[in-house]
Structure 1
Amino acid sequence: MDLTQNHLYINQYIFKKEKIKSIEKEQEHTSNHPIIYILYDDLKKVAYVGESTNVTKRMNDHLKNIDKKRLKYLYVISSPYFNKSAALDIESNLIKYMSADTGYSLLNGNAGIVEHNYYQKRYYFEIFENIWKNLKLKKVVAKDILDIDNSDLYKYSPYKSLSVDQNEVVIQYLERLSNQKEGPVFVEGSAGTGKTILAVYLIKLLVTHVTIDSIDKENTDILEKYQKINSFRNYLQKSPEIALVVPMTSLRKTLKNVFKSIPGLKANMVIGPSEVVKKDYDILIIDEAHRLKRRKGLTAYGSFDNTNKSLGMGHEGTELDWILSKSKYQMFFYDEAQSIRPSDISKKTFSKLKNTENTIKLSSQLRVKAGIDYIKFVNHLLTKKNVQNLKKFSSPNYELALFSNLQEMIHQLEYKEKKYGLTRMTAGFSWKWVSSNGTDAYDALIDGVKMTWNRETKDWINSTNSLTEMGCIHTTQGYDLNYCGVIFGNEIIYNTKTNKIEIVKDNYFDTKGKGGVNDDDLHLYIINIYKTLMYRGIKGTFVYCCDKNLERYFSTFISLQ
C-alpha cells in the first residue's frame, strides 16, 4: 500500500450547489470511505477544514451556513485506504498546521478530537506530510512542517488534539461551569503535561460561538462540550468575561503574540496578576500558578502594597487573593515542584484551597519524547530518592548526554540547532549578571568560553540562537525546546564525604531567590530550578557540571561524551 503515489487524490472544485453532485460522482473510488476537505476563499484568506463519510450531505449542510456558504473553493482529499481514525487524524493535523501557517484564518471551532493511537498512525502522518507538500505546491499553505513545529503559534495552538486526561479536564470543568459551581479548580501536572496548551485551548473554546445545529451529530464529544458551554452562556446571559493570567513576564509576552494571531482571541486577554484588579471577571485561568507571588522577597513592595490597598486587603494579601476576589470561577494550573523563589506563594497556602473534589491530575507526558520515565529519572537523580535502584538512562526516543568540556557541548548543540532549530543553552544562577548594563562584558568564563546571560528578559527563546548566551530559569520556565543545554553552576556540588548533593549559598546570585530563606528551602528551590531546566528538551538534554564531583556522580547514570 503506497498512498504517496497512486492512491491519494487531491481534487479542487468550485463550491456551489450545482457542483456538489459532480463531487460525489468523481469520488466513487472512495465510496463509503471518509474524505477530508478544505473549504476556502483565496482572496479573503478564510478557510474551513472538515472530514465526512458523506461529502454531498456535508457540503449541502455547509451551504446553509451563513459563514461557510461564502467560501468559494473546495479541496477534497481522498483515498480508498482511508479509515475513520486516519481521516480524523489527518483532519486534526491540517487544522493544527494551517492555523499555525497563518495564511488562512480558520472558521473551525476547537472542540477537537482526543489523541489516540490506531493501526499505522505513524504511516498516516507520512501521508499527511505528502498532502502538505501538495498543498504547498498549490500555494494553499506556505511554511514547511519543521518551521511550524518550532513556532510558538503551533506549540500553543488551541487547535491541538487533546490527550485523554487533558480531555477529561475539559469535560469536568465544563460540567462545573454548566452547573454554575463557582470557586477554584486545580489542575496538577509536572512539566510537559500540557498545562499551558490546555489553558489556551480552554479560553478559545469558551469564547467561540458555535450553534448546536452546525455540529455533525456523529461528533458526540464536540457536541457535549458545546452544549455545556451554551448552558453556561445562557446562565450568564452573555459571553463570559475571561482572561489568562500568566505570572512570568517572558512567557506572558510570548502568549500575547500567540493570542494576536488566533481568530477570536486578543492580546489583552493575556494579563499579569496585578491586572486582574482592573475589572471583574467571570473566569480567570491561571497558568504556572506556582509562580504567583506573596509579599516576600519582592522587587517592588510599594506597587504590591498599593494593589492590596485598592482591594481593601492588608499586607498579607497575595496575588492568589487578588484573583479569588476579582473572579467567580478560577482554574489554576499548578505544580509545586516548579516553585523556585521565596516570593512564590507557599504550598501550604494552596493546600488550604485544594481538596479531592476540586483537584484534577494530568499525567500524560506530552513534551519529552522519553515520556514519564525521564521525568522520574531526573527527579530521582537530583533528589537522590531511591538512587540505589537507578540505572543508567537509555532511551531510543531521547538523547541525554553528559559533557566534561563545555566547548564540545556547545559544538554538539550547534549541530542540533542547524538540524532541528530551537536549541538553547540554560544555566543555574551561579554568576552575577555583569552584562545587564548592555556592555560587551561576559558573565562567566567556563573552559575558556565566554558566556553571557540572556540579553533579553521577554520572549528570550525567540530572540537568539546563540549558544554562548545562557537562559536563566525566569526566561525559560514554561517553554519547549528541541534540545536544551543545562549548565550546573558553582552553587550546586556533590559532597563525596556525605554522598549528597549540596548547595553553596555564596555562589548563588539570584538575590531575590535567597533573601530570608533557610538552607533547606534554598536547597529545594535550586533543585527545582535544575529539574525544571532539564524538562525543557523535547528531543534531548545535554548536561555540563562545573563541579567535577557532581559530574562523576552524574556519569554513573548519564553517558559521558
Structure 2
Amino acid sequence: MSQSETPQVDVQQFTFDKQALEAVDSNRHASDNWPIVYILSDESTRTAYVGETTNAKSRLRTHLRDKKKKKLTSAVLVSSAKFNKSATLDIEASLIRYLAADGKFRPINSNLGGAIDHNYYQKDGLYQDILRETWNNLRHIGLAQRSLESIDNSDVFKYSPYKTLSADQRESLIGIFTALLDARVETLLIEGGAGTGKSVLAIFLFKLLHSDIDDIQLREFSDDELVLRVLITRFKKRFPDPRMALVVPMSSFRSTLRRAFGQIAGLSAKMVIGPAELTRQHYDVVLVDEAHRLRQRKNLGSYFGRFDAVCKELSMDACTASEVDWVLAQSTKSVFFYDQNQSIKPSDADAAVFDRLETQRTTQQQVLLSQFRVNAGNSYSQFISDLLHVTMGDSEVFSSKQYELKVFDRIDDLIATIEERNEKLGLSRLVAGFAWPWVSKKNLSCLTSRSKTRHCNGTAPTMTGSTPITPSRK
C-alpha cells in the first residue's frame, strides 16, 4: 500500500484483562458483530494465540476463563470494513503460519485446518493487500519482526504444520490413524512423488498428536472432522503419551526440520532424529520422511563405523541389514514416506527392500497425488517425468502461461540468469544430473570400515555422475 492510499485495516492494541473488554465496545466493527481477527500474546513467554470471531467481547471473555489463554497479557484487534467470514478465516490461518515462521512469538493454536481451501471474491487481490497491510502493522507494534517476502522463502515456513491439506492428504491422514489403531497393521508406506506434501503431512500428524483434543479445530475436514476426532480420541486413549520420532536420513534436511519443530508450540527439535539415534529406545510410532534415503552398507565413507556399531547393537548383520531394518526393529508402528524415483545413490536402501515390505500382510499402502511444488500441477510433473524417461509420445505437448522456456548457448549465461532470479525471487537453483563415468577405485560394494573390522565382498556398479552446480543464496 502506498502512502497516498487509505488504510484498509484498523489495528487496535490493549492490555488483555477484564477491564480491557470495554475497549472492544470502542471498536466500531467489533461492537457491531463484524467479522474480525484478534491476536493474544505475552512478551515474557513469547507465545501468541490467533483467532477470528463475529462476537469479539464474548470470545475474549471466554479466553479469560481458559487456563492457557488467560496467561496472555496483550490483545490486538484487526478489523476492516472489507472483512467477510471467508476473509477473516483465511487471514487468521495466514497469520498463524507467518507468526510461527517469523519466530518472535510461538503460536499456541491447535487449529490445524489451515487456510480455507476455496476461493472467494477478491481473495488473490484485495485480501492479499489487506494481509500485507496487517502484517506491516504487526511489525510496527512489535508482534512480528521479518518481512513476508523473507518468510515466504524460509524453510520454517515451508514446513509449518499450519497448512491446508489436499483431499488425498486428508484421506491419507484418516487412513494413517485407522492403520495406527489396527493391530494387524505394523507398517505403512505413504508413496508420493516430489512436491506431493509428504513432509507437511508428517509434521501435521506430529502436531495433531501433540495437541489437546478439545483445542483442535479442523474446519477443512468438514464431514470428515467427526471421523477424525473419533480416531484421534481412540489413539490418545491407547497412547496417552506416545513415544514418537520423526526420522530424517539426510543431515541437512534434519537440521531444517529441527529448526521448524523448535518454533512450533507442542513440538520439540528433539523429536527429529537420525536413523542411528533409534537405538536410544523403542518407539510406539516412528515416521520416516524421505525414506528412500535410508542407507545400506555401501559408499558410506566416514559413516561405516557408526553403521556397523548400530547393527551390532541391534544384533543385525551389517552386510545384509539396512536402516529400514533399524526402523522396523525399534518401532511398534512404522510409517515410511517414500518415493522410489528419488533414490539416486548406491548407499540408498535397495528398492527391493520396500518391494518386500509391500507384499507383507502387516503392511498397508497409500498414495499421494496432489502437486504443491509447481504451479502447473500434476500435468507439468508428468511432462517432466516423461521427458526425462523418454516415454513422451510425439503428439504430447505441455503448455502453460505460468512457465517460460529458454535455450542458452553458453552455460555461463544460464548460471548468471539463475543467480539473478535467485537474487530477485529466491529459491532459484541450477542442478545437474549424471553426465560422465564415475567408477570406484575399488571393486567392492560393501567396503570395510576404517577399523578394518568387517569386510563385505561384492561387485561395485559402474556409475555415471556429475557435480551439481548450485548458485549461492545472496
Same fold (TM over 0.5): yes
**1:173 alignment partner, SS class:** helix
Residue 166 (str. 1) matches residue 163 (str. 2)? no
Counterpart in the other structure of 2:340:
336
Match of 2:453 in 1: none
- 1:139 equivalenced with 2:145 (yes/no): no
| CA-CA distance at 1:78 after TM superposition | 2.2
Q: 1:509: Cα distance to partner? A: 10
Alpha carbon RMSD of aligned pairs, Å? 3.3
Q: How many residues align?
A: 448
Letter paired with 2:114: I
What is the CA-CA distance between 1:388 and the residue it aligns to?
1.6
CA distance 1:167–1:53, change in 2 (3 Å): farther
1:247 to 249, 261, 274: 249
Contact 2:444 2:459 in 1 (8 A): no
Residues 403 and 57 of structure 1: CA distance in aligned 2, closer, same or farther (over 3 Å): same
Q: Which structure's residues are more often strand, by fraction?
A: 1
Counterpart AA for 1:335: D
The answer to whether the 8 A contact 2:29-2:79 is kept is: no
Q: Secondary structure at the match of 2:14?
A: strand
- 1-structure distance, mates of 2:354, 2:76: 51
Tell me how far apart the structure 2 counterparts of residues 217 and 297 of structure 1 sit (CA, whole Å): 45
Change in Cα spacing, 1:168 to 1:218, as seen in structure 2 (3 Å) is closer
The aligned counterpart of 2:402 is 397
AA in 2 matched with 1:344: D
Name the aligned partner's letter for residue 263 of structure 2: S
Q: 1:326 to 1:72 in 2, by over 3 A?
A: same
Q: Which residue of 2 aligns with 1:258?
A: 260
**Whole-angstrom distance in 2 between the partners of 1:512 and 1:377:** 37
Closer/same/farther in 2, CA of residues 257 and 12 from structure 1, 3 Å limit: closer
Q: Aligned pair in 2 of structure 1 residues 43, 293: CA closer, same or farther (>3 Å)? A: closer
Offset, 1:53: 2.6
2: CA distance, partners of 1:261 / 1:509:
45
Q: Deviations over 1:402-453 (max 9, x none)?
A: 3221221122123212211333443336xxxxxxxxxxxxxxxxxxxxxxxx
Deviation at 1:226, TM superposition (A): 5.2
Q: Give the corresponding residue for 1:201.
A: 204
1:159 offset after TM fit, Å? 2.0
Residue 327 of structure 2 corresponds to 323
Instruction: Indicate how the Cα distance of structure 1 residues 6 and 189 shifts in structure 2: closer, same or farther if over 3 A, else same.
Output: same
* Residue 378 of structure 2 is aligned to residue 372 of structure 1: yes
Distance 1:516 1:85 in 2: 61
CA 1:275–1:399 in structure 2 vs 1: closer, same or farther (change >3 Å)?
farther
Distance across 2 between alignment mates of 1:34 and 1:509? 69
Q: Report the TM-score, using the length of structure 2 for normalisation.
A: 0.84
Shift of 1:77: 1.6
CA contact (8 A) 2:189 2:364 kept: yes
Q: Distance in 2 between matches of 1:406 and 1:86?
A: 46
Q: Is the Cα contact below 8 Å between 2:244 and 2:283 reproduced in 1?
A: yes
SS class of match (2:124): helix
Residue type of the alignment partner of 2:426: G
1:32 deviation in Å? 4.9
* Length-normalised TM-score, structure 1: 0.72
Alignment equivalent of 1:388, drawn from 369, 385, 394 = 394
Q: What's the offset of the Cα at 1:296? A: 3.9
What letter corresponds to residue 282 of structure 2 in structure 1? D
Provide the residue aligned with 1:8 in structure 2: 9
**Alpha-carbon contact 2:40-2:75 (below 8 Å) kept:** yes
Indicate how the Cα distance of structure 1 residues 106 and 506 shifts in structure 2: closer, same or farther if over 3 A, else same. closer
Partner of 1:270: 272
- The whole-number CA distance in structure 1 between the counterparts of 2:68 and 2:50 is 13
1:494 alignment counterpart? none
Q: Does 1:350 align with 2:354?
A: yes
**How far apart in 1 are the matches of 2:427 and 2:218?**
41
Matches within 5 A, 1:34-53: 34-53=35-54
Matches within 5 A, 1:61-210: 61-109=62-110, 111-113=112-114, 116-119=117-120, 120-123=122-125, 124-178=127-181, 182-208=185-211, 210=212
Distance 1:118 1:78 in 2: 21
The residue type equivalent to 1:395 in the other structure is: S
The 2-side partners of 1:295 and 1:226 are apart by 42
Q: CA deviation at 1:330?
A: 1.4
Q: Could you give the per-residue CA deviations for residues 449-477 of structure 1, whole angstroms, max 9, x where no partner exists?
A: xxxxxxxxxxxxxxxxxxxxxxxxxxxxx
Cα distance change, pair 507–351 in 1 and its aligned pair in 2 (3 A): closer
Tell me what 1:234 maps to. Answer: 237
Structure 1 range deviating more: 110-119 or 148-157: 110-119
Q: 8 Å contact 1:297–1:512 — kept in the other structure? A: no
SS in 2 for 1:426: coil
